[in-house]
Amino acid sequence: MREKVTICEVGPRDGLQMAKSRMETAAKIRWIKAIAAAGVPEIEVGSFVPPRVIPAMADTEEIVRQSVQIPGLFVVALVPNLRGAQAAYAAGAHRITIPVSVSEGHSRSNLNRTPMEQVGEVRGIVPWVREQPRRMEIEAACSTAFGCSIDGVVPTEKVVEVATGLAETGVDSVSLCDTVGYGNPSQIKEVVRAVRAAIGDKVQRLHLHDTMGLGLANALAGLEEGIRKFDSSLAGLGGCPYAPGASGNIVTEDLVFMLESMGFDTGIDLQKLLAARRVLQESIPEEPVHGQVPKAGIPKTYRKAA
């Protein structure tokens, strides 16, 4: 039995919020269905933010409503506040992810709040969600946990402090996000260890960007620290509107190739994933795409060496 690793595809949220091109609602649904058909177990399909702030996410309610109809798919939505959590719940989301920047600069720029004020926002969301008849998972995402393009170095103690505050609110899990892609493998290991020492197994997921080309090396570092959940983005779309210099997420196609080649079970069919990439490219052909496996093609050694 191969060990499982769970990938959450964040392209429809983290990718499209930054894309120069706008994807129509029907095209988003086609794309999400193609990703799900490849066996990707979880998709972050959108974010409940004001349309004037991120116009590309204006149809998130409709996207969530349609996505939860896809058999077997676990549907995630980003929400910055209680109002967003309520909208995500009403639309049927299976999990919400609430961003909380560790660095002051990013927090103010992204949410116009201090990190601890945003921890307070999470503290208000959790009891409301727990009171609802349907169970909805709550994840808090520690943004800029490995560096900030505004504030620079983010000390590990600061990550531990914010993660601890978040764990105490009663969220189900805490993720660590290299929002701007400044992290390195040693740092990934150090921060994961320090946060786990503070909050135990509540730290589960890494969200990595490939700004400096270290994305998969950082994922490997996380794997070696026992992380078994990763966010990634088809074609490496993504970035952060409030983090100048950030570039795309780690590429789902390459991540799947690495994990499966190493003997992990992602449940994802790489051929079908490349088909989902073509659906994306047909919808917004002018959008730059990334990824080495799609360029080189799947080699004949794939899954044979392991």
What does the block give as tokens for 207? 């969200």
* Residues 244, 150: Cα–Cα separation, whole Å: 8
* Residues 28, 22: Cα–Cα separation, whole Å: 10
Q: Residue 103 is which amino acid?
A: S
* Residues 17, 208: Cα–Cα separation, whole Å: 16
Of 21, 69, 114, 292, which lies in the binding site for a second copy, with binding defined by CB under 8 A? Answer: 292
Q: Is residue 177 among the annotated active site residues?
A: no
Site for a second copy in 165-194 (CB under 8 A): 180-182, 184-187
User: Does 198 engage in binding with a second copy (CB under 8 A)?
Assistant: no
User: Does 239 engage in binding with a second copy (CB under 8 A)?
Assistant: no
User: Does 268 engage in binding with a second copy (CB under 8 A)?
Assistant: no
Q: Which residues contact 247 (CB under 8 A, 6 or more apart)?
A: 181, 209, 210, 211, 238, 239
**Phi-psi map region of 294: left, alpha, beta (phi>0 left; psi -120 to 50 alpha):** alpha
Of 216, 227, 280, 284, which lies in the binding site for a second copy, with binding defined by CB under 8 A? Answer: 216
Per-residue DSSP letter, 3: P
Stretch of residues binding a second copy (CB under 8 A), selected from 2-10, 118-126, 164-172, 244-252: 244-252
Nearer to a second copy by Cβ, of 23 and 160: the residue is: 160
User: Does 138 engage in binding with a second copy (CB under 8 A)?
Assistant: no
User: Does 143 engage in binding with a second copy (CB under 8 A)?
Assistant: no
Instruction: Name the site residues for a second copy (rule: CB under 8 A).
Output: 147, 149, 152-153, 180-182, 184-187, 210-214, 216-217, 219-221, 224, 245, 247, 251, 254, 257-258, 261-263, 291-293, 295-297, 299-301, 304-306
